[in-house]
Chains A and B, each alone.
Chain A
Amino acid sequence: MTTTCEPVDTRTKDVHPHADLPEDELPPPDDEEDIPVPPGAPSTLLRSLLGPHRRRIATAMTVILLQQAALQAGPLMVALALDRGIPALRDDNAGPLIAVVAAYLGCALLGTLLQWSFIKISARVNQDVLLDLRGRIFRHAQRLSLDFHERYTSGRIISRATSDVEALRELLSEGLQELLTVTLSVCSISVILLVLDWKLGLAALVAFLPLWLITQSFRHRSQPVYRRSRTAAASLIVRFTETMNGIRPVKAFRRERANDIAFGAVNRQSAAATADGLLEVARYGGLSRTTANLWTTAVVVLGAYLVTDGSVELGVLTAFVLYLHRLFEPIDQLAMFLNSYQSAAAALEKIAGLLAHEPTVAEPAEPRELPASTVKGREVHFEKTRFAYRAGKEVLPTFDLLLPAGQTVAVVGATGAGKSTVAKLLARFYDPTEGRITLDGVDLRDLTGPELRRGVVMVTQESFLFSGTVAENIAIGRPGAERAEIEAAARAIGAHDFIAELPDGYDTDVRKRGGRISAGQRQLVAFARALLADPAVLILDEATSSLDVPGERAVQQAMRTVLAGRTAVIIAHRLSTVEIADRVLVMDQGRIVEDGSPRELINGAGRFAQLHQAWRSSLV
């Protein structure tokens, strides 16, 4: 491979300091080792995947055993035809020949049938295992907490669920039959050799000692190569997805060339790892074949001496030599098996690492239920809550807050004051470092996921749309909702008009990331989703930031009715939202500095009064 870098624009160097370094000086691809793999986790994972299919695997093995037997019976039938069939036919007795030929055909048919069923059975096992594994990865990724997702990047999770699973698929679909047939043929021929002449047989089988050593050395040498290969594949995926998802800024900021170079670098790393892996296999194949052939010659010579001094019969040696050749025949298949095995092992390691990672926000061991309530809203209590992000400074120093059921609270304050943190803690995106948050007296950590979401729902500032229709996107709020309910929610928030104007109305496909639906419209969809969820506590985190003034007015109008009876926490930069609140909290550096009704605060002389003044004057 020639390096494709044309005279690299010097400007790009500053942006990508590694772009022009030779391959071997590149830093290791995005390291993933921040997720330690517990020892033994890969094999435990494999066992748990195959375990449920034990019986079918056993059947498959039996089938392949029988198939090999049927296959080996062919030459025997030919011998029988020659030794018995022909002489009998010469005596005008076609019976034996017919019988032998019938047996031959029978064996052929049986072998075919067995091969057919083996493919069917093993495909079923493979696909079930893969289904299971994919599901596990997906579910686990969904379970993992946000702090994990913020570090791990979606690209890596995608590579776990796609290219790593693919590596295992290859082992299962192609490797298993290879391993089985190799093992079977090696075992049966070994037995035959030992039966023919145990001394000579032992001498022949000693060859497996160097072969074993070569295999061990291959495994040892190739392991890091395959790991490198998996990691390189993951970095490719990370780069790739990031570029494709951010294609607009990529184009607008002319990142194409720089991206080509950066992608080219990981691409080369990946190619190097792939080639190294292939070379290891080649080396293994060559070495083991050399060993096998050397050994064959040695045993033949030894056999010749033994025949000469009369300790082995000529007929025995003849058979022995022919079988000996076949003993080592499947070495190439073994090399291919080891290739896919090592690759799958490296992939399994990565997957096991992901699966072994426990969510920091865990489901309760002994879940409690929320007490039955006659009112819609629930009481929220932050009790001496402290919180710090991973390795960061404390965002919330000892925070106490009681929100009575049904209260609508607006939280305001400068960026970084901790407003969003309060929201995220209440939504249990994170757990507090200290203290607790209760909902009608029940610690959030004691609630199961579904129970928690009946209680608390949050509308975030990012309004991501999933592929599917608009209706489906709203229905995320409550799966199984009727179309009428979905429309009612959309109407209530003022989203119905624009949805109805879309080409297929509620059934319009939002396509990739809702590219065609404006940011404001997406926020309306997010609102409708929240309304449909009908929670006791609703958190709105900057949920109206992209709405225009009429849109915001409409939402506020709707909020008055929607929030009635519910407990609501509204985080907003726009003070317009505050008008519908019963209570306003002004936060600064993780503390509440002002607390009161909007009227009280506006008429006071505090920070809020100033903010409100500034905001007022910004309006028409």
Chain B
Amino acid sequence: MAKNPVLDTATDSVAVPGTAPPAPGRSTVRSLLRLWPYVRPVRTRLVVSVAAALLASLSTLVIPVVLGWIVDGPIAEHDLEALWPYAALLLLLGLSEAVFFHARRVVLARPLAGVESTMRGELFGKLQRLPVSFHDRWGSGQLLSRAMSDLYVVRTYLAFPLIFLVVNSLTFLAGIALMFTQDWRLALITLAPTLPLFLLTRRFESRYSRATRMTQDRNGDLATLVEESVLGIRILKAFGRHRSMSERFHEQSTVLRRTELEKAGMLANLWSIVIGLPELALGCSLAVGAYLVAHDEMSAGALVAFLSTALTIRWPIESLGWLIAYSNEAATAADRFFEVLDAPDAEPAETVRTTTPSTTPSATPSTTTTAVKTVTTPDGIRLTGVRFRYPDAPADTPDLLRGIDLHIRSGETMALVGATGSGKTTLTALLPRLYEATAGTITLDGQDIRELDRSRLRELVAVAFEDPTLFSATIRENVLMGAPGAGEDRLRAALATAQAGFVDQLPEGVDTEVGEQGLGLSGGQRQRLALARAVVGDPSFLMLDDPLSALDVHTEALVERALREVLASTTALVVAHRPSTVMLADRVAVLADGRIEAVGTHQELLQSSARYRALMSGEATLAPERSTAR
């Protein structure tokens, strides 16, 4: 039962680095302690809540005593006059119990909801700032389950189990102390199971937290699957494959069910032991106590008193089962949260930005010169010895980019051509530092991009991706993302450049909400909006990744014409797959085998480069290649 090969093999579809089993040095307590920075601001509230809970339990304990007094005193003696003070005391206790009861929750409600949302906000912020390569590896369902259900578990833990862990431990200790004063022999017998219980729960803990971890990870996988099935719904519909997708989902959720059942099995075992052992010990102390009473070593009253004390600490002991279980869930949830938070930004801190004038207002000569430098040396884009490999690429594969040297002169438009999968898109992603080049330097107008503040860099470099993602927002908002604060005229100009006149025929024009991922629009329409977004900010540097692929010939020609004007004043790199796109460029660079093989004008390259000819016409050198493939 401990090792489940079926479960282990099921994980291979989600070889996410973060879903590895917890590290050996991990302990529940240590994981929980890491939450302290978030709990700190509410620590006073927590203490108050614990105090309220203690006082409420105290009232609960005292009330039966007062009831006893009333029965034995005024009622037994038929003295109704004497009843009233007792009744008043009872009332007072009852009311204070209710008040403490109320207070315990009230003091924590808003602060804890705040803790949860702070943690969530921080996770979200961190995720947005983690490198793209991190997101390549992690299913977004996994991230989502951390942001939602794990943080929910943490919050619930702080609100209830944590409080009662304290309250019940104190009650337990008080009960034990009381028992020892009553009769140390019986107390010893009653406490005998404590040590084995402790050892057993220790063992249980490690197994249970493994299982908890597994269920939480599986929940994340399930969320990923749901998400994919919805995002890929068109393909599933086109092939009528929802049934096989449902089967896959069923399989995965069956695995989750099995893990949950295993967990429940462990819990059942733990509970039985936690409840059963003390009960058995109590039975023994009953026998011994009765023996002692029979031999007049103890009074019957003392035995009753002892047993009732023992019974009052039954709940604190019993509750141990789920308190331990819940602590484990919370610890695992915290682990999963911190896994993301601990992920290295891999972005060298912004300390290198010596050249952004705004950060050093004490205008030293050097800053002013560099500030001027960005304006006065229109050097364009220069890549020198740029190498790149994806961080998770297998060790035996060569780098994707192996020493790119390329100079795009200021104001020039360079087309980048190369076979499918040669790394063109990757190269464009290096400029706005969506990925970090492994070696070499990239400069914009002479300035190393690593020295630029990231957001400043991305302000300078605009990108239109080959997969034009639109966000759930209006068309206006989507386009103006490229130039926050730009006015209507800029919006209009950008839409005109991209030939996106269709927006005026939409129900609410530019204020039409485009659905998630812009699903409501056709590929061509989305592509034009993405293009508008890239050019709206009038960027100094522009990366266009196959910007016209989804356009029809007619629109393509119109966009080209308009784009030419924009390109005239910017330095641009345009990934091109076909001659018509190449025509936008002044010069063309051919990417092959991780290097720039040739640079020249379209005509020059047609003359000199066989590869270029093949890429543009689809003939020549390709035939032999394919024949070897067959």
Contact = CB atoms under 8 A, between A and B. Distances in A.
A86 B299 CA distance: 11
B249 A86 contact: no
Contacts of B80: 304-305, 308
Interface in B369-414: 390, 393-394, 397
Interface residues of A, number: 192
B578 interface: yes
A519 interface: yes
Q: How large is the interface on B (under 10, 10 to 19, 20 to 34, 35 or more residues)?
A: 35 or more
Nearest to A87: B294
Interface in A218-249: 233, 236-238, 240-249
B294 to A, nearest CB: 4
A285 interface: yes
Interface-central residue, A260, A286, A619, by most chain B CB under 10 Å = A286
Nearest to B106: A282
B95 A293 contact: yes
B615 A548 contact: yes
B108 A574 contact: no
Given A85-B290, A237-B144, A497-B629, A1 B128 contact: no
Contacts of B425: 518-519
B261 to A, nearest CB: 6
A360 interface: no
B91 A294 contact: yes
Given A162-B226, A271-B113, A294-B91, A300 B520 contact: no
Nearest to B554: A414
Contacts of B316: none
A521 B13 contact: no
B185 interface: no
Contact of B230 (A141, A301, A517): A141
Nearest to A504: B394
B235 A271 contact: no
Given A293-B91, A296-B90, A248 B128 contact: no
B454 to A, nearest CB: 8
Interface stretch (A39-47, A184-192, A550-558): A550-558
Contact of B469 (A248, A542, A574): A248
B614 interface: yes
Contacts of B284: 101
B293 A86 contact: yes
- Majority-rule SS of B interface residues: helix
Contacts of A111: 275-276, 279
A105 interface: yes
Contact of A271 (B90, B114, B264, B455): B114
B420 A520 contact: yes
Nearest to A246: B469
B147 interface: yes
A297 B229 contact: no
B97 interface: yes
B356 to A, nearest CB: 14
Given A271-B113, A459-B238, A414 B94 contact: no
A267 B261 contact: no
A233 B148 contact: yes
B360 interface: no
A397 interface: no
B76 A256 contact: no
A158 B524 contact: no
A420 B521 CA distance: 11
A175 interface: no
Nearest to A250: B128
Given A245-B469, A304-B74, A519-B467, A512 B98 contact: no
Contacts of A618: 553, 557, 578-580, 583
A517 B622 CA distance: 21
Nearest to A133: B253
B508 to A, nearest CB: 12
Nearest to B76: A314
Contact of B78 (A135, A240, A251, A308): A308
B8 interface: no
